[in-house]
Amino acid sequence: MQNYSLRDAVRALIPVGFRILQNDPHLAGTLSLNHIFLAIVVAAHKFSVRVRPELGQGEAMPSVNVPIGQIPAGADLVELLSAKCPENLIKAIVNTVKDAGLGLEPLAIASVTENSRLSPRITALPALPGLAIDDEGKLGVARAWLRCWVKGPSIWFNDMPPGWWSVEVTPHRGDFQPMDRVLTTKEAKRIFKKEWIPRLMSMFAQALQEGGSRVLANHLTLQIGGAWVRCDTCKSVHRPIGMLASCIDCGASTVHAFDPEQDPVFIARRGFYREPVRLAMTQENPSFMSLIAAEHTAQLNAAQPDDAFSQAENHEIRFQDIDLAWRDTDPREPAIDVLSSTTTMEVGIDIGELSGVALRNMPPGRANYQQRAGRAGRRGTAVATVVAFGSSDSHDDHYFTTPDEMIRGSVIDPKLNLENVDIASRHVSAFLLQRYHEARLPEHDPNANPNLFSVLGSVRDFRDGGSTLNRMDFRDWLTSNSVALALAVDRWLPSQIAGEERAKLIANMSSTVASEVDRAVGYREPPPVVAAIVEEQVLNEEAEEEVQEELDAGALTEPPVEEQSLTASPDEDTDFADPSADKLLERLLYWGVLPRYAFPTDVAPFYVFNRGLSTPFRPRMDFAPSQGLNVALSQYAPNKQIWIKGKQYTSKAIYSPYRDVRADAWRKRKLYFECSVCGHAKTENYSEERRNGLFRCEACQTPASFGPGMPWLRPPGFAHPIDRDPVTAPDDPNETAYATRAKLIMQTPGPDLGWVDINDRIRGFPTRDYLLVSNSGPEGGGYNYCVACGRIEAVKDQELNLHQPHSRPFPSSEPELCPGRVSRGIVLGTDFRTDIALFSLPLDAPFRVRPGNDESASALRTLCEALAAAACRVLEIEPGEVLAEYRPALTDAGAAGLEVELFIYDTLAGGAGFSPQLVSRGEELFEKAFKILGECPGECDGSCYR
């Protein structure tokens, strides 16, 4: 929006500013297109117009040292001549000069002509028979030739970045094919090619050493007003050219002179855009429209320690026309007219009165709509406008066709489901661990590790008894305090959980949490001989000495458990992490022992460094937006372009500001396999021998399709390299890859493990297991990852050769480049534990859904979307809180296409207990899905968005 508003303002300011500069005696004779930026600055200052392009690194708009409303002259004007035009503004200038629809010439405002110094040299050129025999005709032909440069290769301004050459401005020899419509006779074409082009090129063009020529803006100026002709066939507008009576764009003879101020057809077609320019050029105090737009999203970071306001708060205040520059030395920023916001603006923020609200899509429900639309019309605003746009998806289409359901009616009261036993069980586990922690560590140790996740210590210490908090003591504490704990849990457990379920939950809570914790920490019962020694240690204070004596005598075949964990030789490859060194709290959250939905841990930030304030030992971030890791694998994937506050940043590094976090992530890498036929995937412990190996897929049983094995890394975060400047104008999109859909990696349960028959064709299995999401790069080639510094490049689209020395992406005190330690072809991913409803559908001939078949994928994807929608309606939850996927059953029947599995899973971190409920309501679920597939408002024969 701001870019379009900037173009509208620039379109009016250029001719107004040019006329002002033409009246300056020092500039009038040398005025050229290179002075357009000066013309904009002068006109904007005179008429108090806010020109605020998005500024790049090191860019700034010049300040004018005369009061607003006055025209700078003399030394003040000379000072402005040296100012450099920002890149985003030069783009708007070039667009205004050359745009075929809304440029200066199509709107009959001005056209590009030669500098007045060059006019005599043009009139001295040979005559063109039947076209240009006088000075006016020759100038017209030369200007038509310049017009070809403007519309084709473009012209070169002094303020253009060097990188624009051969991209925005291209070389040319000057022999333009469109000139054939101007040069209508063979003789004129011969003379123009032999006599005119070489001399015109010497006048206007610059020959470059590397080859090619470009026309310089310094040799050109603007002719404002004057005579115009218009073609009734192609609607082209241009200047009259000598004796030519046809259109120079289409060649038609339907060209006639017209007055852009009076012609009704032209006014109807172009008047909306031309009128502001006309008023600006004719009125003493014209009114310019210049909008300043800003974002208000979660991408804007919180306030830095040295700042009074965060970026979002700054935008809120400026939106209310409050000037934050309370000191004379503070830089003044313009008020914001349009605030582009996400749902962060939905509640809790006062942004004053609004005259209008535009919704980019339909909100999830009536309550959301009323919150967003209700922002307008408050306080003194008597009339306000609310516009909501609908896209082509089913949700937006439904409310677009039935708007009453969104606009009218009472708001549905929010509800809390307190009957969910699974969620209650996790809260009971958290309560027991909390009480145990309080009992054993009643006081805070100021010298303890300040990391929040270190509060429970390490997995090894808890499992092997190396700390105050350990598994044996935890079990003893649960047993000795069982009565008091049961009474405490009974007091706060919701009354909605009652009867047998409540009694069973409380009675089994100690054994449940103990077994869940043991499973999470990887505890295994020791061998009998070791168990006997451990028991003897408990009973006999002299046990330690006796054990040592027996060890010395060779009586034991293996050391006790405690000694195993302490004396075991580390892996020769120190590049791998010891899982027992993990923090216990992180492990319990990962295994779903504790509730995670209010305590998300799989979060990946995208870091944008502040180059000026960052130091090697204290990096300072301009922005650090974050997403859940399964979303970040697509949104922040390497090579992805991310827009924040009007600038485009590029993800090119794996990074964490915390010491050793990135290195630990690499040491915990796994090996990733994905089937090239059916898409089944899994990870396993890293093995160099199995890397790049191809194996038979366990799902579709295709030989040599499972792989190749690739290193799999869980990224702690992503970053825009500190040495890379952001851009303010959109670049061509990079080649990026998106994360896979969630893949279920558990084996198909056996028939006697708890399947629930829904009918003769469908059976269900409630479970809680892991789903896998991965990003294997463009075309599945993976990424090249520098283990030393974190730089990352797609194998299929490398911008930087990481095998060569390269810059580090973060602030560093190292004077040398990173030498590079590259792992080729890695995969980024995450796995997460959630609640799942697994449904198995056996098929009989002739029906078959072969794995990897396009028709099978289309049918199953349709069924999954219908099941997800039906599940939300059955459970009365918001769309998106559960999703559905499919896979072939991991059986012989599944490989043959005779058994397929559909699984519905909770998207909330750790699971919300929704999906397992669907197994007991399976018949209702599938009937609802069948109804969704069978009924369509449009009565379509195939799939649609309705």
Whether 94 has a pLDDT exceeding 80, the answer reads: yes
Whole-angstrom Cα distance, residue 605 to residue 622?
13
More confident residue, 470 or 706: 706
Find how far residue 101's CA is from the centre of its chain.
32
Closest CA to 626 of 655, 647, 669: 655
Q: Quick: pLDDT tens for 306-340.
A: 667 777 778 888 888 787 776 666 667 788 888 88
- Dihedral over alpha carbons 385, 389, 394, 400 (to 10 degrees): 40
Q: What percent of the chain has pLDDT over 70?
A: 88
Q: What is the pLDDT of residue 445?
A: 61
pLDDT in tens, 221-278: 999 989 999 999 999 999 999 888 899 999 899 999 999 999 999 999 999 999 999 9
Cα–Cα distance between 109 and 238 in angstroms, integer? 10
The yes/no answer on whether domain 293-407 falls in CATH 3.40.50.300 is: yes
pLDDT at 52 over 90: no
DSSP string, 293-316: EEEESTTSPPPPTT-SS-HHHHHH
Taking alpha carbons only, the member of 19, 84, 34 closest to residue 55 is 84
183 vs 329 pLDDT, higher one: 183
Band (215; pLDDT cuts 50, 70, 90):
very high
How many residues appear in the chain?
Answer: 946
Per-residue pLDDT, 567: 30
Q: What six digits make up the tokens of 815? A: 């004077």
Of 903, 506, 555, nearest to 742 by C-alpha is: 903
Pairwise CA distance, residues 355 & 497, whole Å: 49
Structure confidence at residue 346 (pLDDT): 64
**Residue 541: per-residue pLDDT:** 44
> Residues with Cβ < 8 Å from 536, sequence gap 6 or more?
543, 546, 547
- Is 573 a residue whose pLDDT tops 70? no
Looking up tokens 């582009």, which residue turns up? 340
pLDDT band for 572, please (50, 70, 90 cuts).
very low
Q: Which of 836, 851, 830 is nearest to 907 (CA)?
A: 836
**226-230, 283-287, 586-590, 908-912: which has the highest mean pLDDT?**
226-230
Letter string b/e over residues 199-235, b meaning 16 or more CB atoms within 10 A of that residue's CB: ebbebbbeeeeeebbbbbbbbbbbbbeeebbbbeeeb
In the prediction, which pLDDT does 228 show? 94
The pTM of the full predicted model, rounded to 2 decimals, is: 0.76
**Mean of per-residue pLDDT scores for the chain:** 84
Tokens 């749902």 found at: 343
Question: Could you report the per-residue pLDDT of 386-404, keeping only the tens digit for each?
Answer: 888 888 777 788 788 888 8
Map tokens 């990481």 to a residue. Answer: 802
What pLDDT, on a 0 to 100 scale, did the predictor assign at position 574? 45
CB atoms closer than 10 angstroms to residue 799: 11
The residues near 524 (Cβ < 8 Å, ≥ 6 apart) are none
Q: How many CA atoms lie within 13 A of 263 on its CB side?
A: 20
CB-neighbour burial class of residue 192 (10 A; exposed 0-12, middle 13-18, buried 19+): buried
pLDDT at 484 over 60: yes
pLDDT at 836: 94
Q: What count of other Cβ atoms lies within 10 Å of the Cβ of residue 941?
A: 7
Residue ranges of the chain that CATH labels 3.40.50.300? 293-407
Does the pLDDT of residue 945 top 80, yes or no? Answer: no
Contacts of 760 (CB under 8 A, 6+ apart): none
Give strand pairing partners of 695.
Answer: 706
Whole-number percent of the chain with pLDDT over 90: 45
pLDDT score, position 431: 92
Task: Answer whether residue 48 shows pLDDT above 50.
Answer: yes
DSSP 353: -
pLDDT of amino acid 208 = 85
The per-residue DSSP string of 819-858 comes to ---EEEEEEEEEEEEEEEEEEEEE--TT----TT-HHHHH
**CA 590, CA 594: separation in Å to the nearest integer?**
9
> Helices H, strands E: what count in the chain?
29, 29
Residues 720-760 have pLDDT tens digits of: 999 998 887 776 677 788 889 999 999 999 988 889 999 98
What is the pLDDT at residue 611?
86
Instruction: Output the CA angle 779-780-781, nearest 5 degrees.
Output: 90
